[in-house]
Amino acid sequence: MAVCARLCGVGPSRGCRRRQQRRGPAETAAADSEPDTDPEEECIEAGAVALCGAEGGRGAGPSSPPRCSLLELPPELLVEIFASLPGTDLPSLAQVCTKFRRILLTDTIWRRRCREEYGVCENLRKLEITGVSCRDVYAKRINPRVKSGRFMKILPDYEHMEYRDVYTCLLHRYRHILGLWQPDIGPYGGLLNVVVDGLFIIGWMYLPPHDPHVDDPMRFKPLFRIHLMERKSATVECMYGHRGPHNGHIQIVKKDEFSTKCNQTDHHRMSGGRQEEFRTWLREEWGRTLEDIFHEHMQELILMKFIYTSQYDNCLTYRRIYLPPSHPDDLIRPGLFKGTYGSHGLEIVMLSFHGKCARATKITGDPNIPAGQQTVEIDLMHRIQLPDVENLRNFNELSRIVLEVREQVRLEQQQQQEDRPEDGEGHGRHSPREPQHGPAQSSAGPPAEKGREPGDGGAMAAEEQPAQGGQGQPFVLPVGVSSRNEDYPRTCRMCFYGTGLIAGHGFTSPERTPGVFILFDKDRFGFIWLELKSFSLYSRVQASFRNADAPSPQAFEEMLKNIQSLTS
C-alpha cells in the first residue's frame, strides 16, 4: 500500500485507530488484505499515529483541505529545507526514510552547515587553485626556507573528501574545545584561542607585543592543529618547535578543560642545544638578545621564565575562560588589555565590572603576582579630582589626595560594619563583591550618590564626567613615578580611587596598596601604584573572539573564582 502517513500528521494512515473506528467491517477487511508496508513506512506511520492522536478530532475527513507531505516535495526543495536545520538534527532526520537519507548525502547541505555554524568558507574542490590559509600561515612560519612547490605536501588530499566528513569527524567532534583558554603554566598562565581556520582547527597562543610597546598588536603562534587526512578520522599535530608539525594528541579531561600532549618531543629540540633554544626563545619572547638587557634582575626573571615554561613543551592542560559581560552603563567596554609590569614585561589582564567596582584580573602573570589574581580593583564610588598640572607633578600632593580617600573608604567600611547588626536582612541582600557606600563625602571628588542600583556604578561615573566627549583633563605623571612607556596619553577623562595587588617572589605576603585609576579613552587606561611609585599603562587587545561569551553572568563569576583559586 502507498504510504499515506504524513510527517505533518494528516492522512488516512492504516495505523490510525480513529480512522479504523469510522470504517465499516467490509472496509476494514479490505484494508487488512492489502500488502504490508516496509519497515521504513511503518516507522513513518508510527510517527503519524502519535500525531493523529494529538490532532484531537481534527483528522483528515472528506471536508479537510489537502495538505502537502514532506515526502512529496521535490528533492531540490528538501535540500534547501534540510540545509537550514542544525547539523546535530540531520542524523536523526536520516533515520526517517530512505529518501531523506539519500538527500542528506548531498554535500551542499553539509557545506552550508560548516559555513553557518563554524565559518568555513573554503571550497574543497578548488583548494589547489585558490590555496588555503595554511599554505602561507603554517608552512612559511614553520620554515621560511621551504620552497613554494613543497607547500602542498603538508596539506591533506581534499579531492576525495566530503563536507559531511569535515562536519562530523572534525568540526562537531572537537566543537567543545573552541574558544578562549588559559594554559596551566604555573604563575605565567597564557591566552589560547582555539578557532576554525580554513579546514583546520588551530590552537593559537596569543602573546603580548614586545615590551614596552603596549599599543602594538598582539603576536600569536600555533601550538597545535587538527585536520582530516585521506581517512575519515581527525589528525592532531603539535606545532611547537621549529621542525614543522608532528604527531600529537588531545584529550578532553572534563567540561571546560582539555589537555594536549606531544608524541615527538625531539621535534622541539635544536641542533645547537639549550643555548640556541634560549637565544631563539629570547628573540621571539622579548625581541632582543640577552646582551641588550642590562638590568641584572630582569635577566634573572627572563632566564627563570625560560627554564620554567620549557618544562611544559610536552604536555599542557587548559581551562576555559570567558570574556566579561558588558552593560550599557559600564565606564568603558570590558575586555582584554595589555599592560606594562616593570621588569616582568607586558602582561594580559581582563577588565570586568561588578556593580560599584571594576577589576583587572591577570590572564598572564609572573612569579610575584601569578595569573588568575586580581591585579587592580577600582572603586567606582570614589572619584578622584586631580589637581592642576603643576601640582600634579608633585608626588606628595597626589599621595595626600589618595590617602585621604583611602581613610574615607576605611571609615565608610567601619560604619557599615557597625550598622550591619541593626539593619539585619537589609545588609544581607548586598553582594560581598559590591561594597555599599555610606553618607561620607570625598574631599577629592564628587560625592557618592545614594539610591543607586548595583549596576549603576558606571552610569554614575559617566554622568559625573563632563569631559567624556571633549578634550579631557591635562595629565602628567608626578616626578619620581617610573614608567616603562613614556609615550602615555597627556589627557585623561576621569580618575578613581583603586587598590593594586603587590607581593614578594612566589606570591609571598600579598597585600593591596592604594593607587589611582586613570581613564584615558575607550581603549586605554592607567594605574599609578602609590607605594611602588610606578605607573602601568594598559591598551585594549584589538581582536575579535568567537565562542568566548559566558553563558550567564554567574558562569563568568564562577570562572573568575576558579582561575584565582588555582594560584591562591
The residue out of 274, 298, 319 marking a domain boundary is 319
Query: Which residue has better confidence, 314 or 362?
Result: 362
The pLDDT assigned to 230 comes to 63
| Same domain membership, residue 350 and residue 306 | no
- Residue 290 falls within a domain, yes or no? yes
CB proximity list for 498: less than 8 A, separation 6 or greater: 376, 377, 378, 379, 514, 515, 516, 517, 527
| Same domain membership, residue 342 and residue 304 | no
Q: Copy the grid coordinates of residue 362.
A: 591577570
pLDDT-derived band at 11 (thresholds 50, 70, 90) equals very low
Q: What's this model's pTM, rounded to 2 decimal places?
A: 0.76
Query: Domain count of the chain?
Result: 2
| Same domain membership, residue 483 and residue 387 | yes
- Residue 288 falls within a domain, yes or no? yes
Task: Say which DSSP state 352 is in.
Answer: E
Strand-pair partners of 524? 521, 539
| Same domain membership, residue 334 and residue 478 | yes
What range defines the domain where residue 341 resides?
324-409+473-566
| Same domain membership, residue 350 and residue 484 | yes
The pLDDT assigned to 164 comes to 87
CB proximity list for 316: less than 8 A, separation 6 or greater: 183, 184, 185, 223, 259, 260
- Residue 405 falls within a domain, yes or no? yes
Contact 472, 519 (CB under 8 A): no
| Rounded Cα gap, residues 38 and 5, in angstroms | 13
Contact 384, 444 (CB under 8 A): yes
Q: What is the pLDDT of residues 177-213, one digit of tens each?
A: 999 999 999 999 999 999 998 788 999 999 999 988 9
- Residue 110 falls within a domain, yes or no? no
The pLDDT assigned to 144 comes to 41
| Rounded Cα gap, residues 559 and 352, in angstroms | 12
Q: What is the pLDDT of residues 373-423, one digit of tens each?
A: 999 999 999 999 999 988 899 999 999 999 999 999 999 988 888 877 654
Mean predicted confidence (pLDDT) in 315-337:
94
- Residue 205 falls within a domain, yes or no? yes
| Same domain membership, residue 306 and residue 218 | yes
| Same domain membership, residue 275 and residue 255 | yes
- Residue 340 falls within a domain, yes or no? yes
**461 pLDDT exceeds 60?**
no
Q: Which of 431, 404, 403, 436 is nearest to 417 (CA)?
A: 436
CATH of residue 388's domain is: 2.40.128
Strands (E), 255-334: 257-262, 315-320
The residue out of 319, 338, 362 marking a domain boundary is 319
| Rounded Cα gap, residues 257 and 192, in angstroms | 12
The residue out of 280, 302, 319 marking a domain boundary is 319
- Residue 276 falls within a domain, yes or no? yes
| Same domain membership, residue 331 and residue 313 | no
The SS3 assignment for 507 reads coil
Q: Please give the C-alpha separations between residue 185 and each of 199, 284, 333, 482, in angstroms, as whole numbers.
A: 29, 18, 29, 29
| Same domain membership, residue 330 and residue 304 | no
The pLDDT assigned to 63 comes to 55
The pLDDT assigned to 283 comes to 87
Q: Copy the grid coordinates of residue 81.
A: 529545507
Task: Say which DSSP state 63 is in.
Answer: T
| Same domain membership, residue 266 and residue 394 | no
The pLDDT assigned to 482 comes to 92
Strand-pair partners of 207? 219
| Same domain membership, residue 303 and residue 195 | yes
- Residue 146 falls within a domain, yes or no? no
